[in-house]
């Protein structure tokens, strides 16, 4: 199957989750179906798909009786951990343990998050303002989208990715690149740039089903990459430490390390593994824009995002309108997904674990896949119910 790998990391969602399922089986006792109830708004196993870099279990435990295998969209597990002595809280920021700052201090397992800082020195003022003024709404961002940033964005793309509906490959666009980028820059700034529909393609999932991808035209990828670079200066200040998916300097190995540390060092006896079914395809455009507008007031940037959301999909030569979702495979989609879940999940769970939970709570999120660990079963069951209600509100 053809696919656009510009935003799909190696070892990512499309790969086997066998090693991690073995790890969960050795580390948890899965509750019977009454407590591992399927929720049809969700899709199973994607966090486990991406966390495949390590097969050593956190704790050796008992496999579920009867050869039970976790196939539900939402699974509650019981760990075999005994209560452990508390460690230094400053080591726990990356997984949002109760009593920590949920990520303002990075754990020692992280690679330095410097890549997004050093490559865009002209945006340091945006980053500084975002850090110092958490309620700031940025009204002038598009002027940072210059020819140099477009050039860097072009070279950041995968050279062998499949072309979109324009049929233009990376190698073809590189011919006469400077003139092309100058023209693209002019069109973007005078409002003449038009987003093209995404070309629909499919990749085979581990369970035999097909995952739809939306392959953007090359110029759309370039402009999206430039906008993501600009917005990262704001969101990398805002996003929580327990969010790992599709962020500069972060990846699945750090997420698994944080999960390992959380279960080892905190009193975690129950684990909720959840994955939002069809999340990218069903995000509300209205809520996406509302969430982005919390920090972005530049109408030109907002119009670009709306153009990409409304560009539609082309499949077998037929165009169809997109009223929901953002295409998987589009460069801008992971950032929009993280911004969406930052407001729907991350900020909410941070308050919930501090004000509602009776015991320890840890959180690790990789895009739309998340693991939440609890000291008490009552906390786990209450969280699951309230989390479902919150998803329904923003779904």
Question: What per-residue confidence (pLDDT) applies to 79?
Answer: 54
The gap from C-alpha 326 to its chain's centroid, in whole angstroms, comes to 13
- Residue 13 DSSP SS3: coil
**Neighbouring C-alpha atoms within 13 Å toward the C-beta of 210:** 10
**Neighbouring C-alpha atoms within 13 Å toward the C-beta of 325:** 19
Instruction: Give the sheet arrangement for strand 198-204, strand by strand.
Output: 210-215, 198-204, 313-315, 318-320
Instruction: State phi, psi for 380 to the nearest 5 degrees.
Output: -60, -45
Q: How far apart are CA 163 and CA 40, in angstroms?
A: 34
| 7: nearest Cα among 316, 326, 311 | 326
| Count of residues in the chain | 395
* Angle between helix 124-132 and helix 218-238 axes, rounded to 10 deg: 40
Note the pLDDT tens digit of each residue in 70-108: 323 455 556 544 443 333 222 233 556 654 444 333 333
pLDDT at 376 > cutoff 50: yes
DSSP state of 53: S
Give the residue ranges of DSSP H helices in 212-284. 218-238, 252-265, 279-282
DSSP state of 78: E
User: Please, are residues 368 and 346 in contact by the beta-carbon 8 Å criterion?
Assistant: no
| 4: nearest Cα among 330, 332, 315 | 330
Going along 53-191, which residue ranges are E strands? 74-79
For 252-255, the CB contacts below 8 A with 24+ separation are 252/9, 252/11, 252/12, 252/50, 252/51, 252/52, 252/53, 252/366, 253/53, 253/54, 254/94, 254/109, 254/110, 254/111, 255/47, 255/50, 255/51, 255/364, 255/366
Q: How far apart are CA 359 and CA 378, in angstroms?
A: 10
User: Please, are residues 370 and 363 in contact by the beta-carbon 8 Å criterion?
Assistant: yes
Note the pLDDT tens digit of each residue in 188-235: 999 999 999 988 788 787 777 777 788 899 999 999 999 999 999 999
User: Please, are residues 188 and 223 in contact by the beta-carbon 8 Å criterion?
Assistant: yes
Question: What per-residue confidence (pLDDT) applies to 119?
Answer: 55
Question: What per-residue confidence (pLDDT) applies to 96?
Answer: 62
List, as one string, the DSSP characters of 274-312.
Answer: EE-TTHHHH-BHHHHHHHHTTTB--HHHHHHHHHHHHS-
Question: Judging by DSSP bridges, how do beta strands 313-315 and 198-204 pair with one another?
Answer: parallel
The pLDDT of 275-294, averaged and rounded, is 90
Q: How far apart are CA 198 and CA 218, in angstroms?
A: 10
The pLDDT of 232-242, averaged and rounded, is 96
Question: What per-residue confidence (pLDDT) applies to 95?
Answer: 56
Q: How far apart are CA 282 and CA 323, in angstroms?
A: 9
Of 276-280, 317-321, 364-368, the range with the highest mean pLDDT is 364-368
Question: What per-residue confidence (pLDDT) applies to 336?
Answer: 96
Comparing 205-209, 329-333, 354-358, the range with the smallest average pLDDT is 205-209
Tokens of 144: 């940072």
User: Please, are residues 181 and 151 in contact by the beta-carbon 8 Å criterion?
Assistant: yes
pLDDT at 115 > cutoff 50: no
User: Please, are residues 54 and 253 in contact by the beta-carbon 8 Å criterion?
Assistant: yes
Q: How far apart are CA 110 and CA 11, in angstroms?
A: 18
Instruction: State phi, psi for 271 to the nearest 5 degrees.
Output: -125, 130
Question: What per-residue confidence (pLDDT) applies to 280?
Answer: 85
Of 75-84, 112-121, 126-135, the range with the highest mean pLDDT is 126-135
Question: What per-residue confidence (pLDDT) applies to 23?
Answer: 42
CB count, 10 Å around CB of 140? 11
User: Please, are residues 137 and 295 in contact by the beta-carbon 8 Å criterion?
Assistant: yes
């Amino acid at each position: 199957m053809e696919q656009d790998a510009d935003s799909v990391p190696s070892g990512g969602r499309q790969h086997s989750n066998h090693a991690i399922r073995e790890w969960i089986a050795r580390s948890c006792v899965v509750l019977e179906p009454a407590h591992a109830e399927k929720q049809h708004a969700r899709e199973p196993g994607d966090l486990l798909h991406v966390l495949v870099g390590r097969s050593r279990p956190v704790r050796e435990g008992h496999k579920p009786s009867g050869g039970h295998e976790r196939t539900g969209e939402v699974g509650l597990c019981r760990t075999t951990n005994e209560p452990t002595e508390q460690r230094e809280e400053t080591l726990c920021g990356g997984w949002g343990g109760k009593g920590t700052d949920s990520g303002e201090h990075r754990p020692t397992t992280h690679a330095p998050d410097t890549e997004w800082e050093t490559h865009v020195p002209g945006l340091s003022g945006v980053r500084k303002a975002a850090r110092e003024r958490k309620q700031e709404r940025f009204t002038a961002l598009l002027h940072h989208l210059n020819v140099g940033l477009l050039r860097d964005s072009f070279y950041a793309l995968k050279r062998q990715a499949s072309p979109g509906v324009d049929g233009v490959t990376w190698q073809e666009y590189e011919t006469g690149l400077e003139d092309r980028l100058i023209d693209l820059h002019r069109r973007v700034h005078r409002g003449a740039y038009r987003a093209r529909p995404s070309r629909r393609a499919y990749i085979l999932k581990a369970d035999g089903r097909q995952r739809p991808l939306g392959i953007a035209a090359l110029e759309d990828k370039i402009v999206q990459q430039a906008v993501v670079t600009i917005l990262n200066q704001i969101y990398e200040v805002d996003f929580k430490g327990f969010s790992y998916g599709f962020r500069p300097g972060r990846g699945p190995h750090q997420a698994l390390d944080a999960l390992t540390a959380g279960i080892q060092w905190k009193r975690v006896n129950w684990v909720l593994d959840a994955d939002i079914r069809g999340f990218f395809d069903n995000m509300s455009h209205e809520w996406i824009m509302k969430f982005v507008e919390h920090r972005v007031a530049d109408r030109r940037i907002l119009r670009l995002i709306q153009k990409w959301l409304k560009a539609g999909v082309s499949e077998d030569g037929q165009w169809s309108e997109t009223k929901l979702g953002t295409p998987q495979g589009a460069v801008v989609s992971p950032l929009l997904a993280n911004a969406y879940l930052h407001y729907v999940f991350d900020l909410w769970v941070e308050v919930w674990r501090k004000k509602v939970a009776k015991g320890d709570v840890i959180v690790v999120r990789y895009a739309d896949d998340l693991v939440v660990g609890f000291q008490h079963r009552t906390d786990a069951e209450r969280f699951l119910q309230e989390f479902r209600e919150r998803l329904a509100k923003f779904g």
